[in-house]
Each structure stands twice: as C-alpha cells, then as structure tokens.
Chains A and B, each alone.
Chain A
Amino acid sequence: MSNREIEVKNLEKRYPGDVIAVDGVSLKVEAGQIYGFLGPNGAGKSTTVKILTTLALPSAGSATVGGYDVVEEAGEVRRIAGVALQDVGLDPLMKPLELLTLQGRLFGASRRDARARAEELMQLVRLEEAVDRQVGTYSGGMKRRLDLAMALVHQPEILFLDEPTTGLDPASRRDVWREVRRLNEQLGMTIFLTTQYLEEADELADMISIIDRGKIVKSGSPAALKASLGAESLNLAFSERESAERANVLLQSIADRTQLDRVTVRVYMNDVAHKIPSIIERLSSAELDPVSLTLTQPTLDDVFLQVTGTTFDKERTEAEIQELALS
C-alpha cells in the first residue's frame, strides 16, 4: 500500500545542448489532493510528468510517487500510478473493451475480472454506446475519455493527467472535469494534473504550482494565490505603450503594486473601486487618458503575470519556443 503522496526534490532534466527543461523543481502533493501544475507550452510540465511516471530519468534530484522512488522502484510506481499522457496512446484498430481488458489482464486480473472492470469503466466514462466501434472512429473527446479509463483499469492510487482537456470542446472538458472530481471525491485518489488552462487549474486543483521555463515560480491554493494580489485590480488600458509606461510610474506612488502588461496598467490596492476618481484625476493632470477602465477580481492570469512578467497569452519569440520545445 502506498502513501498516495508525491514528493519531488530539486528535480532537474537537462538535454544535449544545455537545454534545461526542468530546473530544480521541488513540490509535495498530499494524499488525496488534486495538484495542479500550471504553465504555458514548453514550461516543463510534461517533462516533469514523464519523470514522475518513470518514462524518463531525471538528470538530478529525486522524486517519489506513493513513497516509491521513480528511478529505483519504477515497477512499484507503475503498479500504483495511472497515467493519461498528453498524447492519447490508443491503438486505433482495436475496440475499447479489447484495449481495457488487455490492460487489465497485463496488470494480473483474470479474464473475467478484467472484462467486468472494462465494462464498468466504459459506463463511467460514458462510452457504452460506442463500445462496438474501433477507436480510430472516435472523436478527440471520446479518445480522451477512453484514455482516462485506460489509466484507471488497475485502480491506481495516484493518477497523472497530462493536459487532459487540451483540444477538447467545452462540453467534453466539463465531462472530464466532472470525472476527475468524482475520482477524487469518491475514491480519495491523489491526482497530479498538468494544464495550460488557468480556469481548469482554478476549477479543479486544491493546490497549484506555476511553472515557467522549468522553474516553479509560485505555489499555493488558487484562493491564496489570488488573494495575494489583493481584493480587486483596476485595469487601465492606454492607446500606446509609452502612455502606459508613464502611467505605471505615476501610479506606483499610490498603489500597493502595479503591473505593466503591454498597454495595460494593473493597479492593486485596497478598496481600489473607491479610489478610481483620484486615480483618474492624477492621470489627467499628467495628460494621460486611458481608453478603457475595468475592475476585475484577481485571476490566476494576474498571478502568473505578477510572478513571470508575462501572461499566458503573450506570444513567445520563435527562439524561445524552439528552446523550450524539447521540454
């Protein structure tokens, strides 16, 4: 029986050419927790998952899954962990019950038990009506749900989901979210979830780590992370960058914190809603006129912006993308 925890200490993964995909990552996932690993494309999420699921070796550091070392006790890790990777690995010529039954039998179940388990999982992921079709005829959402079922065949204690809803339509995404929550609530399954979707992490995770360029830049519960930015933020959009920069400097003297994001200045301060008139007056006196003004609750994007200086939407340069592609 595992302890259903995940512990990572100073994990590193380097590739030839001095590419550092994972750079000193440390984290701990408590038993029964849904842990969100949030970051943009190329941040190092999938590489971390590959190491934790024994598909890759770390260059340095250590990690245990369920109390088992991922390097020395890989077999035990595979026994207690279920994995649904970013790329669904399904044979398109096989039918779902065949795949699920085969999976169950490889994990040592009898033919009858494996078949029963397969039928149960088909119901769980709502694919009963497609049971006689080859997997190659499935939609992307159906394949993801079947892949999730494959990860659950051997009743794992810890589940790794690598971007489980990437490419899915909103309805399918909600279906997957619902399944993930149910697994956690009903079975107490520890779930390690990587995602590039802020709302997914916000919706599902008990704890979040934000990873960027191989490093963890911030960790905490979604509520705590957002609360660290204050109650609300005032977003002032300008027509040009120069105006935004001047406004950012001007408002730093009165705000708890400001953040410049392209042509938008975000102002974080207590009771910011009541201070709007004085802010506008100060800007007007400097001949700075924002084109729009919005009041928003802090989001994880705000958190990401604060800790990395960029948003998830910002396009990386081609060189950055190529550099991070290996991760």
Chain B
Amino acid sequence: MAAQAPTVKTIPSKAKFRAPILEQIFLVTWQNLVTIFRRPAALIPPIAISLFFLVIYNSTLGGAAAFIPNLGANSYLGFILPLSIVSASLSGAGIAAQNLVRNIESGYFDKLLLTPIKRSALLTGTILSGAVILGLQAALVLGVAMLMGLRIETGILGAVAVVGMSVLLGLGFAGFTMSAALGSGSAAVTQSAGFIFFPLTFLAPTFVPLELLSGWLRVAARLNPITYVLQAMRAIINEGWVWPEIFAGILACVILGGAMYLLTLFALRRRTARS
C-alpha cells in the first residue's frame, strides 16, 4: 500500500452503549425490509398464487353466488376474496422467516447477538417486517379485486380493516415459520413449516358458507380459527360492520398470533441461550 494510511480519529459521540428499544426494533425492521426488497423475486410467488386463485375460483365457481346469502351488491367475488387474502397471508408469512434463516446462515444473526440488542427487539423487528410485507400483499390483492368490480360495503375503513386482519392472521402464521427458522436454522425446514397451515384454509367455509357444510367438515371448520377470519372479512366486505362476526375474527387472530408469538419467543431463547 503506497498511500499514507488514514489515522483513526475519535468521532465525538453521544453513544450511550445501547439504542432505545423502539429504535432497536425500527433498525431490525428496516434491515429486514431492505434485504427482502432487494430480492423481489421472493415476493412474487405468494402474490401470483393468490391472484391466480382469485381469478380461477371466481370464474369457475361464480355461479354459486345464487346460493350464497348476504353478498349484498357483490358477486361471488365478494365471497371468495377473503380466501385469496388469507392465502396471501399464509404464503407471505414465510418471507420474514426465510430472511431470518438467511441471517442465521450468513452469520449475521450471531453478529447481532454481539451487540447490545435486546432479544425481544430482534424478534419484534423481524415480525414487523413480515407485517409490512403482509399488509402490502393484502392491499394488492384487495386492489385487484376492486378492479374486478368488487364493492366494499364499509368503504375505505373496511378495506383497511380487512388488510389489518390479514396482517394479524399472517403474523400468526409467520410466528410458526419463524420458530421453525430459529429452531432449525434451515431454509428447507422453514419452507416446509409453512405448509402445515395450508390444509387449514380448506377445513373452513372456503367455497360455501358454514351453514352449507356438514358432518366432520363442519365440525373441523368450527374449530378452525380461519373460519372466523373468513366470516369477519366477508361481513366487512359484503354486509357492513357486523360486530359479533368481526370480533370473533379478531379474537381468532389474537389467539393464534399470541400462541405463535410465545412459540417464537421460546425458540429465540433456545437459539440465543449460551451453552
């Protein structure tokens, strides 16, 4: 090296050793989002699949609208749209977990553990990045449906509520895949974990209302939290602010999300525990 080497200066710093917890969460969220959006190819399949099913189901099953009560001014599109949004939540939920695995595999996760970052900030920031992605996906699916002629009975506020509910639900799914990511550190295992919830979308009033299901399927649907989310979204889109159904949907999201958050917290503690 020919040039004179720069000397190390001390930058006057008001560093207090640790950033405030909210800033830590923001920084982790930002780091995850930057890297997620730098691989846009990973974002396309979940959206494409959801939109594909939206178009296919509406086209092939649209005639069933005659048997579906409470659709208001909407066609079968108003009934099937929540399924597409839930599908988007399910498939998009793995994106944050895959990013977490990437951080683990690259060693950057261990690098972060050498900073004063709180473990809860690490977890919350990663979850929030997933929430942003889920929200954008749900908004996109909803937007396409509106272009296809959907009319939301509750207006813009209802659209926001639907997107919010999909985010809440998706975070529950994301919690499970993140716990798989933390437990295994493997991209393959994490991806496989996401498929566990796939059958749930069909053990529900997926194509017809709950009242038209029978036998074991009806029992399974009653026990499935996705049932209540679908019903809540359908009420918001087609009927109005039907609060009992909406609260049931929110409660289902909170219960699922809460359980998955605890699972993820446990997995994070196991991974970051010194041994």
Residues of A near any B CB (own CB < 8 A): 53-57, 74-75, 78-79, 83, 85, 87-94, 98, 102-110, 113, 116-117, 120, 123-124, 126, 134, 150, 154-155, 175, 178, 182-183, 186-187
Query: Which of B98-130 touch A at CB < 8 Å?
Result: 102-103, 106-117
Q: Which of these binds chain A: B12-20, B67-75, B89-97, B220-228?
A: B12-20
Q: Is the CB of B19 within 8 A of A108?
A: yes
- B117: which of A53, A85, A106 is its contact (CB, 8 Å)? A106
Known: A78-B116, A94-B31, A103-B115. A56 touches B275 (CB 8 A): yes
A-B contact pairs, 30 of them (CB 8 A): A53-B114, A55-B114, A55-B274, A56-B275, A79-B17, A85-B107, A90-B107, A91-B102, A91-B106, A98-B31, A102-B27, A102-B31, A103-B115, A105-B19, A105-B23, A106-B112, A106-B116, A107-B18, A107-B19, A108-B15, A108-B19, A109-B15, A110-B13, A113-B11, A113-B14, A113-B15, A116-B11, A117-B13, A150-B111, A182-B8
> Which 10 residue pairs of A and B lie closest in terms of their CB atoms, listed nearest first?
A89-B107, A89-B111, A108-B15, A108-B16, A93-B35, A106-B115, A91-B108, A109-B15, A113-B13, A57-B274
Which of the listed residues B15, B35, B38 has the most CB atoms from chain A within 10 Å of its own CB? B15
Task: Report the separation of the CA atoms of residues A113 and B110 in the bound assembly, to the nearest whole angstrom.
Answer: 24
In the assembled complex, which residues on chain B have CB atoms less than 8 Å from the CB atom of A92? 106
- A85: which of B7, B103, B110, B112 is its contact (CB, 8 Å)? B110
Q: Please give me the residue from chain A that is nearest to B115 by CB atom.
A: A106
In the assembled complex, which residues on chain B have CB atoms less than 8 Å from the CB atom of A98? 31, 34
Interface size class of B (residues with CB under 8 A): 35 or more
Q: Is the CB of A87 within 8 A of B107?
A: yes
0/1 interface trace, chain B 20-35, chain A, CB 8 Å (1 if under): 0001100100110011
Q: Is the CB of B274 within 8 A of A178?
A: no
In the assembled complex, which residues on chain A have CB atoms less than 8 Å from the CB atom of B9? 120
In the assembled complex, which residues on chain B have CB atoms less than 8 Å from the CB atom of A186? 7-8
Q: Is the CB of B19 within 8 A of A89?
A: no
Task: Report the separation of the CA atoms of residues A163 and B272 in the bound assembly, to the nearest whole angstrom.
Answer: 23
Q: Is B6's CB within 8 Å of the partner chain A?
A: yes
Give the distance to chain A from B112, nearest Cβ to Cβ, in Å: 8
- A187: which of B1, B8, B17, B108 is its contact (CB, 8 Å)? B8
Q: A56-B274, A91-B103 are in contact. List 16 more A-B contacts (CB 8 A).
A: A54-B114, A56-B275, A90-B111, A93-B34, A93-B102, A98-B31, A105-B19, A106-B27, A107-B18, A108-B14, A110-B14, A113-B11, A113-B14, A116-B11, A126-B1, A134-B38
Give the distance to chain A from B119, nearest Cβ to Cβ, in Å: 12
Give the distance to chain B from A143, nearest Cβ to Cβ, in Å: 11
Known: A78-B115, A155-B10. A94 touches B34 (CB 8 A): yes
Q: Is B5's CB within 8 Å of the partner chain A?
A: yes
Q: Please give me the residue from chain B that is nearest to A171 by CB atom.
A: B1
- B5: which of A56, A79, A178 is its contact (CB, 8 Å)? A178
Task: Report the separation of the CA atoms of residues A104 and B11 in the bound assembly, to the nearest whole angstrom.
Answer: 12
Q: Please give me the residue from chain B that is nearest to A88 by CB atom.
A: B107
Give the distance to chain B from A80, nearest Cβ to Cβ, in Å: 10
In the assembled complex, which residues on chain A have CB atoms less than 8 Å from the CB atom of B8? 120, 124, 182-183, 186-187
Which of the listed residues B39, B113, B114, B275 has the most CB atoms from chain A within 10 Å of its own CB? B114
In the assembled complex, which residues on chain B have CB atoms less than 8 Å from the CB atom of A107? 15, 17-19, 115-116
In the assembled complex, which residues on chain B have CB atoms less than 8 Å from the CB atom of A87? 107
Task: Report the separation of the CA atoms of residues A74 and B273 in the bound assembly, to the nearest whole angstrom.
Answer: 12
- A117: which of B11, B24, B110 is its contact (CB, 8 Å)? B11
Q: Is the CB of A108 within 8 A of B34?
A: no
Known: A79-B116, A154-B15. A93 touches B38 (CB 8 A): yes
In the assembled complex, which residues on chain A have CB atoms less than 8 Å from the CB atom of B15? 104, 107-110, 113, 154
In the assembled complex, which residues on chain B have CB atoms less than 8 Å from the CB atom of A79? 17, 116
In the assembled complex, which residues on chain A have CB atoms less than 8 Å from the CB atom of B112? 106
0/1 interface trace, chain B 210-225, chain A, CB 8 Å (1 if under): 0000000000000000
Q: Is the CB of A90 within 8 A of B13?
A: no
Q: Is the CB of B114 within 8 A of A83?
A: yes
Q: Please give me the residue from chain A that is nearest to B23 by CB atom.
A: A105
In the assembled complex, which residues on chain A have CB atoms less than 8 Å from the CB atom of B35? 91, 93-94
In the assembled complex, which residues on chain B have CB atoms less than 8 Å from the CB atom of A53? 114
Q: Please give me the residue from chain B that is nearest to A90 by CB atom.
A: B108
Task: Report the separation of the CA atoms of residues A178 and B117 in the bound assembly, to the nearest whole angstrom.
Answer: 31
Task: Report the separation of the CA atoms of residues A103 and B112 in the bound assembly, to the nearest whole angstrom.
Answer: 8
Task: Report the separation of the CA atoms of residues A98 and B106 in the bound assembly, to the nearest whole angstrom.
Answer: 16
Give the distance to chain A from B223, nearest Cβ to Cβ, in Å: 41
In the assembled complex, which residues on chain B have CB atoms less than 8 Å from the CB atom of A74? 274
In the assembled complex, which residues on chain B have CB atoms less than 8 Å from the CB atom of A91? 31, 35, 102-103, 106, 108
Task: Report the separation of the CA atoms of residues A105 and B109 in the bound assembly, to the nearest whole angstrom.
Answer: 16
- A120: which of B11, B39, B275 is its contact (CB, 8 Å)? B11
Task: Report the separation of the CA atoms of residues A104 and B17 in the bound assembly, to the nearest whole angstrom.
Answer: 9
Which of the listed residues A90, A105, A150 has the most CB atoms from chain B within 10 Å of its own CB? A105
Known: A120-B9, A175-B1. A105 touches B27 (CB 8 A): yes
